[in-house]
Each structure stands twice: as structure tokens, then as C-alpha cells.
Amino acid sequence: MAAVPTLARRIARSGVRPLCRWPLAWGRAARQPPGLPLAPCRAFSNNKILVELDESSGVAMMKFKSPPVNSLSLDFLTEFCISLEKLENDRACRGVIFASAVPRIFSSGLDITEMSGKSMEHYAEFWRAVQEMWLRLYGSNMVTIAAVNGSSPAGGCLVALSCDYRIMVENPKFSIGLNEAQLGIVAPFWFKDTFVNVVGHRIAERSLQLGSLYPAPEALKFGLVDELVPEEKLQEKAMAVMAQWLALPDHARQLTKSMMRKAVLDRLVAHREEDVQNFVSFISKESIQKSLRMYMEMLKKKKS
Amino acid sequence: MAAVPTLARRIARSGVRPLCRWPLAWGRAARQPPGLPLAPCRAFSNNKILVELDESSGVAMMKFKSPPVNSLSLDFLTEFCISLEKLENDRACRGVIFASAVPRIFSSGLDITEMSGKSMEHYAEFWRAVQEMWLRLYGSNMVTIAAVNGSSPAGGCLVALSCDYRIMVENPKFSIGLNEAQLGIVAPFWFKDTFVNVVGHRIAERSLQLGSLYPAPEALKFGLVDELVPEEKLQEKAMAVMAQWLALPDHARQLTKSMMRKAVLDRLVAHREEDVQNFVSFISKESIQKSLRMYMEMLKKKKS
Amino acid sequence: MAAVPTLARRIARSGVRPLCRWPLAWGRAARQPPGLPLAPCRAFSNNKILVELDESSGVAMMKFKSPPVNSLSLDFLTEFCISLEKLENDRACRGVIFASAVPRIFSSGLDITEMSGKSMEHYAEFWRAVQEMWLRLYGSNMVTIAAVNGSSPAGGCLVALSCDYRIMVENPKFSIGLNEAQLGIVAPFWFKDTFVNVVGHRIAERSLQLGSLYPAPEALKFGLVDELVPEEKLQEKAMAVMAQWLALPDHARQLTKSMMRKAVLDRLVAHREEDVQNFVSFISKESIQKSLRMYMEMLKKKKS
């Protein structure tokens, strides 16, 4: 895998520490009868991501907590990679559930401010972090479940697509999709490959060209998400699905997962620097910068 | 891309000219309140294809008008390529809608008389024209919508499959499919690739082996067409869908389309001459010629 | 294609002989009015597989008769390859229907006793026979229909997936799927490729990781089987579907089938010995051997 020196340095100097130990107030553990001993649980947090690992079940909860919209900034991505790597290397952890701690949004996707008005070096560093996030998540040995408790456009959708299973809150106001084309930008080939692997070529072709965002019920229809549940059942459902996946022997499941995803992962690994250069030269075009500025203006107006 | 000297020469000497300027009596423009100025519109026609470009919307209408069944003869294919290239190079044109001006048939596919009782050179020239048509249409930068207002077997189905979107008249008497096997011939690998990209591997495998033609309602079920409408709503619907696709920034949509289709386009470009030779040696076999003669006899009997 | 000397020798010395000639008491032939002359029919049998060829229709019936569960032992696979090759080389035969002569089970898949407590040489010989079976069946020029009259896990599912069409008895107690992961083993890449070609990438990824077995009605929903019928209608239906496929000219159907399957077949041919070595080194691991012993213990306890 191509070296990612800057991100590696960021990870090294971050020194994320377990903050405390507390019971996992979540899912099955939370519904234990009072008085019973709670499962041992470690948690660590940093600025933007909260991680809780329930050692008895081997399941970690990773919650995105970067208001207002959990956008995937360089800082967020760095912390995401660090957190995921810690869990990947922790033999007590076999599965991770991803959810948002911010109401109504899972993640809004790549942080546009990282792609606008910055240096070429910054764009390259940012893009390597996006690649790194996907390579680690799509290639994770752990069972990964997206508990999509809010809208999830663009990069947020990619996070969900890269998991093994997607459960979404059945709220039609929450939408999901790779809508990059709407912003005048283009999803890179590995976003596309991941999407095609989930929904097939035709739906991917049409959806990517139109930059379609699908309300949860529509997303379910063609398999962009695997099931819908009421918001109050999401955590319970995610834990039940996780238990089903963890019932399989790890080594067989991991080898199978790798067999299914290797071709697509290898493709980015083989073209990683080329992909960075493509991104940098595309995003630094004045026409693209103008599109992004207009889009940000529109977002600001919407808010006020 | 391999040189196609003969087709190029045909295109060069054809000198298709704009015939006149008239309002686009079609879709939204046609329903403008009387008295309002009509959108400027250019039309050019030749023998077999009628093209109308509405400069205000950027949408061209290409109508197949080669009775009795719009078969894809060498002349038709040449005119198709010329017309498409003119639009592709016209900055006023951003999208094309394809429909038939012949009742009950969109296109009957490749003209069998071009494949029967002719010289090897003729077969080769014909096949290069078929390839050229597909390369230009599947690789078009414009938004392409098939308004399938009649049956569309074999090469007619390929034309529809190569567009971005397919709307079909909801008449169960109109059928669509790649039925080459029924004629004792074989759809080439790029017909197959295009088909797989739309309906997936399993349905393509089964349908190609059986040479299946699907009535419109069945074709909708597995995505061979995207939607059905009553015949009188077809033009309105095609315009509405076109407007939806044109709402996206061209550059993002074009790059995305190219990303989705490049692998399959490149495959023919890389094996183009080999594919011509395969076709010529296959079609000039006496057993295949006999099949085609029998098929044409059957068609004649059906008519009389 | 890589040499498979041991299997070839087994085939050579087997000398399977036609046992007798009798009328095909099956399907349409069986329902002929009494008094009419029956179609000429040859049958040959060996220990585990019964083959009947109806020369008038060109359809052979291959019945698996290896109680208790038609497991794919080295002997079974050898006889399967011999029988299939005989039919492939018999110009009177154009299609084969596969079914079980054992109640409630189509085939239980690879024989675990061939993978447990044996020598490396044995594992390699066994795996080559599994490869050979798939290469011959998936690449067959004949029309192949699986009449799945019982459960069909793992390798049994592969046999069905490798056919052109799958009809299953509509009994929800009969299940089908590639459940290798449940046993702690991994379906090889060509099982996966065959599966993906039938159900698409997403369903294959999820099902293979979970080792899912689907009751017949669920298997129908996502196309793992093509249709369900009551058990008493299975043979009639299989013959009717076969007649539909045989209505196409053989050469066009065969070339089309080869075009659809060649890439996946070529991939195993190109990596055949590597795949054998992977299997041998995986299966001879002590941890895997232990899993298989535990699984066999569980099966024994279930029975008693």
C-alpha cells in the first residue's frame, strides 16, 4: 500500500487515550435487569468520534459527534482512521457499529471547506485521508454495520456502503445517495466500484449521473440499504444483526469478505497516487472552485 | 480508435444539410399558448432520419423514418452516425431523444439483407458501421433518451440499451430484446456487455441464450426499460426526463457517464478489427447464410 | 487446461457401460398413450449416478443415487465427470436434467470425509475432481437444467448454480445456498464467481459471509432459483423448460453460453494448480481439521 506519511504522522502524534470505563448504555447491555453486573466496557474519545467497546460481546460502537453535520474533515478522517485501527488491532473487538450522535444526520460527506480555497498540498493530504478511510473501512476484518440514523449524502453514503450491512431509520425525510454530480463534482472510481458492488451497474450509472438522493423507503427498494427500522429500534436491531454475523467463525468470514472486496480494494491501491493527482488537478480548477463556492453560499442561505 | 475509412468517406461525401427552420411541433414547445414566440429550431433531414434541434432547450429529436421497419441498413447507420456527430459537435445541443416515425416499430435491428448474399468486403463495411453506431451512441457526451414507441428487437434493442434512459409505450404488443439466437446468429460481446450493464449477468445470460423478446410490461419488471407510459404521453414524458438529466452540470454528468462506460467501450476499441473478422467469417458460413435465407422467407410469408 | 492425470486415469479404467435399453419412464414419454411405440432410449448406470438418455428428444436425465445425502465424494465426482463426458460426446444428446433419486436431498455438497484425516495427496486429488466437475458442467455445450428436488447446500448448490436453469420443489423445508462459512471453510473464488453471475455481487457477498441457506420460496425471490413447482410437477416442468431451450439452434445457443461464461471458466483454468495448493494448505491446517471433526460430530448427534 502506498505510504501516507502525513496521515501516519497525524495518527502517531494524536495519542488517543481511553478516557474512562463505563457500561455500554446501549442495546442489549442497556436492557439488562437492574442489579445484574454490567459487561466490562472501555471507551475512548477524541474530538469528533466517540468509541465504546463492549468486551463481553466484542462489539464496538463508533459514534460520529462532529456537529453540525458530521462532515468528513481532515481531522474527522484522521480520528476515524485512528479509532478504526485501534479496534482492528484489539483482539477483544470483532465488530463495529457506526452511528451518528448528531440528530437527523449520519454524515454529510466530505467537508467542502477542505476542498475550497486551499493549497494543492492540502488537497492532496485531504484526499489521501479520504482514501485511507475507505481502504481501512472497506477492507476491515471486523464485521461493520452502519446504523444510519439520519441523512447520508455523498461521502456519508460511502461510509455506509463500505460496511457489511446497512440499517436505516425508516424516516422518509432521511435520504442517502452519492449526489456528487449535483455539486458539479465527480465521485471517484472507487466510490463507483463500491456502489456498483451494492446496487449493480445500472442503478449506479443512473444514480451517479443524476446525483440521486433517495429517501429511506426508496433506498430499501433497490438494496442501497438492507433494512429499515423505527428510530427507537435501531440500536437493538443493529446489535441483533451483529450477533448474527458474529455467530460465524471469524477466519472463514474474513477470508470470504476479502475474496469479495479484494479486486476493488486492489484497484485503488494500484492507482492511489494517480487518483490523488486526478483529484488535486480537478478540484483546483477555477470552474470547480466556483461551483463549490456557489454551493456553500446556497447552504448558508438555506440555514439563515 | 481503429480507422473506419469507408464509413468516414461515406460521411464526408454525404453532405447532410439543414433543410429548413421550423418550430419543434413536439412536447412542451407544441403546447405553448398560441401567440407566444416559438423557440428557434433547426432541422435537418436526409433519407432515413429526421433531426430537429430545439436550441432553446438544447434538446434534439432524432426520428427514425425508414419504412417499413427502420432496419439498420448500411445507409441508415451511416446517416445515424452523421446525424449524431453533427449534434455532438453542436454546442447548442445537450441531449437527444430517439423515437420512430414509423408506427408500431422502433427499429427492427440490423438489416438482414446486408448480411445475406453479399461479399466479404460488404460484410466488413457493414459491421464497421454497426460498431461505429454503438461507439458513438454508447459513448455520447449528450444525454440520450430512447422513446421506444414500438417493437425493438435485436439491434433496435441495442440502440435503446445504449441510451441513458429508456421509456417505452405501455402496449404489451410492443416487445423488446436481443433475440439474435432465434435467428441462429450470436450477439457480439459488446451487445452482451451493454446488456449486462443494464439488466445484470443472470438475466442477460438467460435472455441471450433463449433469444427472448419481452412485451413492454415484462421488460419493465427487470429494468430492460426504465418506465412505461401511454403512447400519447411518451413525448411529454421524454421531455420531462430529459429536463431532469439536463439539470445536472454537463461536465460532472459527462465524466460520470464516461467512468461508467469506459471499460466496455475500450474493450471493443481494443478488439475492433478482430470483431470485424469474427463477424465476417461467421456470417459468410453457408450454414448461417441458409438460416438467414430461411428467416427472410418466413418473414415474407408472414407478410403475405 | 491443466492436466488432471489421476482423474483421467480413474475415468479411463472405469469403463462405464450402457446397462440396458428401456423406455424413459419420465416426463412426456411416460405419458404417451398406451400402445404407441416408445421412444428408443439408452440408459447406463454405475454406482452412484443413473443416466437415461431419450434419443427421440435428445434429453438425458441424470439422477444422483448415492444415499444417504448424495455427497460429492471422489467416487461420485469421477462418475459424474464420466457420465457428463459421455453425454457431451453423444451427438444424440442435446440437454441434461439433473435430479436426485434420494428423497428430500438434491446433494449435500462436498463429502467432508474426503477432506478430513487424509493425506495431502488425497486432498489434492479430491480438489482436482471438484474443479473438473465444475469446469465440465459450467462449460457444458448441452442445455443443463437442475430439477432441485430436495435441499442443496454448498457443493450441491454449486451444481445447481452451474446449470442453465434451476427449478426447485416449492417445499419451504428444502433449502439451498453456499453455506461453507458455517462450517468454518471458505468457498473458493470460482464458487463465488458462479454465484455472483447468478445473484449479483451484493447478495453473494452477504450470503457467502453468513453462509446463508435459503428456503425455496426465499431463494426464488432473488433469483437463486428460477421457479418453484409442486414436487409432482417437477419432471413435467423440467421437460417443458428443456423443450423451450432446445427450440433454439444449438450453435447459436452454445456460442452465446460460452461468451457469457468464458471469463469465469478461464479464470480457474489459469489458476488451477494454485487453487489446488490453496485448498490443500487450507484444509490440512489443524484448526480447520478440528472444525470439520466438530461439524461431523454434530451431524452424527443430529442423526441419532
DSSP B146-187: EEE-SBEEHHHHHHHHTSSEEEEE--TT-EEE--GGGGT---
Q: Is A180 a catalytic residue?
A: yes
Q: Which of B58, B95, B155, B211 is catalytic?
A: B155
* Helix residue ranges, H only, C89-184: 120-138, 154-161
The yes-or-no verdict on residue C246 having pLDDT over 50 is: yes
Q: Which residue has the higher pLDDT, A199 or B35?
A: A199
Close Cβ partners of C80 (under 8 Å, ≥ 6 residues apart): C49, C62, C72, C133
**What's the CA gap between A130 and A283, in Å, rounded?**
14
Nearest CA to CA, how far is B222 from chain C (Å)? 11
User: Diameter of chain B by CA atoms?
Assistant: 63
In CATH terms, C39-231+245-303 corresponds, of 3.90.226.10, 3.40.50.1220, 2.170.150.20, 3.40.50.720, to: 3.90.226.10
Q: Which of C186, C201, C206 sits opposite A252 (nearest CB)?
A: C186
pLDDT at A24: 31
Q: Find the helix packing angle between A250-270 and C201-210, rounded to 10°.
A: 150
Q: How far is CA C48 from the centre of its chain?
A: 13
For A44, A83, A165, B300, the CA distances from A49, given in Å and listed in that order, are 9, 8, 20, 73
Chains A and C form CB pairs within 8 A to the count of: 57
pLDDT at A295: 86
Mean pLDDT across the stretch C114-141? 98
Confidence of residue C26 (pLDDT cuts 50, 70, 90): very low
Higher per-residue pLDDT: C166 or C15: C166
The per-residue pLDDT for A249 is 94
- Percentage, residues of chain A above pLDDT 90: 80
pLDDT for residue C20? 30
Tell whether C182 lies on the interface with A, counting CB pairs under 8 A. yes
Res B47: pLDDT: 87
Contact A287 B251 (CB under 8 A): yes
Q: Identify the CA nearest to A276 among candidates A177, A211, A190.
A: A190
Of C184, C209, C211, the CB nearest to A257: C209
Task: Decide if A209 and B253 are in contact by the 8 Å CB cutoff.
Answer: yes
Within a 10 A sphere around the Cβ of A91, how many other Cβ atoms?
Answer: 6
How far apart (Å, rounded) are the C-alpha atoms in residues C97 and C84? 11
Q: What distance in Å separates residue B120's CA from the closest CA in chain C?
A: 21
pLDDT band at residue A2 under the 50/70/90 scheme: very low
**pLDDT bracket for residue C33 (50, 70, 90):** very low
Q: How far is C252 from chain A (nearest CA, A)?
A: 27
Q: Which residues of B touch C256 (CB under 8 A)?
A: 181, 186-187, 208-209
Give the chain A residue whose CA is nearest to the CA of B165: A206
CA gap B60, B62 in Å, rounded: 6
The alpha carbon of residue C271 is apart from the nearest alpha carbon of chain A, in Å, by 15
A38 DSSP assignment: P
Query: What is the pLDDT, as a whole number, of residue B303?
Result: 73
Which chains are adjacent to chain C, needing at least 3 Cβ pairs under 8 Å?
A, B
Please identify every stretch of chain B with a pLDDT value under 70, giving residue numbers as ranges: 1-46
Instruction: Tell whether A287 lies on the interface with B, counting CB pairs under 8 A.
Output: yes
Q: Which chains sit next to A, with 3 or more Cβ pairs under 8 A? A: B, C
Q: What is the mean pLDDT of residues A229-248?
A: 98
Told to judge if C170 belongs to the known catalytic residues of this protein, a careful annotator would answer no
Tell me the domain boundaries of chain C: 39-231+245-303
Q: Is the pLDDT of residue C166 over 80?
A: yes
Residue C53 bridge partners (DSSP): C42, C60
Mean pLDDT for C116-121 is: 96
pLDDT of A22: 30
Burial B61-97 (b: 16+ CB within 10 A, else e): bbbbbbeebbbbbbbbbbbbbbbbebbeeeeebbbbb
Task: State the pLDDT at residue B288.
Answer: 93
Q: Which of B245, B251, B256 sits opposite A208 (nearest CB)?
A: B256
* Cβ–Cβ contact B253 with A under 8 A: yes
**Is there a contact between A181 and B257 if contact means CB atoms under 8 Å apart?**
no
pLDDT band at residue A10 under the 50/70/90 scheme: low
- Please tell me which of the candidates C186, C192, C209 has its beta carbon nearest to residue A164: C209
pLDDT attached to residue C41: 58
Best residue of B193, B210, B292 to probe chain C, by most C CBs closer than 10 Å: B210
Question: Is there a catalytic annotation at residue C211?
Answer: no
pTM of the predicted model over 0.95: no
Measured between CB atoms, does C124 come within 8 Å of chain A? no
Task: Give me C285's grid cell.
Answer: 491446517
pLDDT at C6: 57
Question: Percentage of residues in chain C with pLDDT exceeding 70?
Answer: 85
Percentage of chain A modeled with pLDDT above 70: 85
The residue type of A266 is D
CB contact under 8 A, C205 and A252: no
pLDDT value at residue B263: 97
Q: What is the pLDDT of residue A291?
A: 87
**Residue A145 in contact with partner chain B when CB distance is under 8 A:** no
Number of Cβ pairs closer than 8 Å across A and B?
56
pLDDT at B45: 58
What value, to the nearest 5°, has the Cα angle with vertex C203 and ends B178 and A271? Answer: 85
Residues A140-175 have pLDDT tens digits of 999 999 999 999 999 999 999 999 999 999 999 999
* Residue B175, amino acid: S
* ipTM of this complex prediction, to 2 decimal places: 0.87
B257 close to A (CB below 8 A): yes
Phi, psi of A248 (to 5 degrees): -80, 150
What's the pLDDT score for residue C47? Answer: 87
The reported pLDDT for the residue numbered C257 is 98
Give the long-range contacts of residues B63-67, CB within 8 A, separation 24 or more. B63/B98, B63/B99, B63/B100, B63/B101, B64/B98, B64/B99, B64/B100, B64/B101, B64/B102, B64/B106, B64/B107, B65/B100, B65/B101, B65/B102, B66/B102, B67/B102
Which of the residues A27, A79, A179, A224 is marked catalytic? A179
Task: Name the residue type at position B224.
Answer: L
pLDDT digits (tens, 9 = 90+) for A114-132: 999 999 999 999 999 999 9
A198 at C interface, C-beta within 8 A: yes
Say yes or no for a CB contact (<8 Å) between B252 and A186: yes
Band of pLDDT at residue C112, cut at 50, 70 and 90: very high
Query: With an 8 Å Cβ cutoff, is B209 touching chain C?
Result: yes
Burial of residue A25 (number of CB atoms within 10 Å: 0-12, 13-18, 19+): exposed
Which of B181, B189, B205 is nearest residue C248 as measured by Cβ atoms? B181
Q: Is the pLDDT of residue C28 over 50?
A: no
Whether the Cβ atoms of residue B143 and residue B95 lie closer than 8 Å to each other = yes
- For the question of residue B70 being annotated catalytic, the response is no
Confidence of residue C188 (pLDDT cuts 50, 70, 90): very high
Residues A248, C182: C-beta atoms closer than 8 Å:
yes
Which of the residues C46, C70, C149, C179 is marked catalytic?
C179
C-alpha cell of B294?
Answer: 430461411
Task: Give the mean model confidence (pLDDT) for residues C249-276.
Answer: 97
C-alpha cell at C64: 444422483
Determine which of A293-297, C116-120, C190-194 has the lowest per-residue pLDDT on average.
Answer: A293-297
Half-sphere exposure of residue B245, counting CA atoms within 13 Å on the CB side?
30
Q: For residues C207-215, give the mean pLDDT.
A: 98
Tell me which of B178, B179, B234, B265 is the catalytic residue: B179
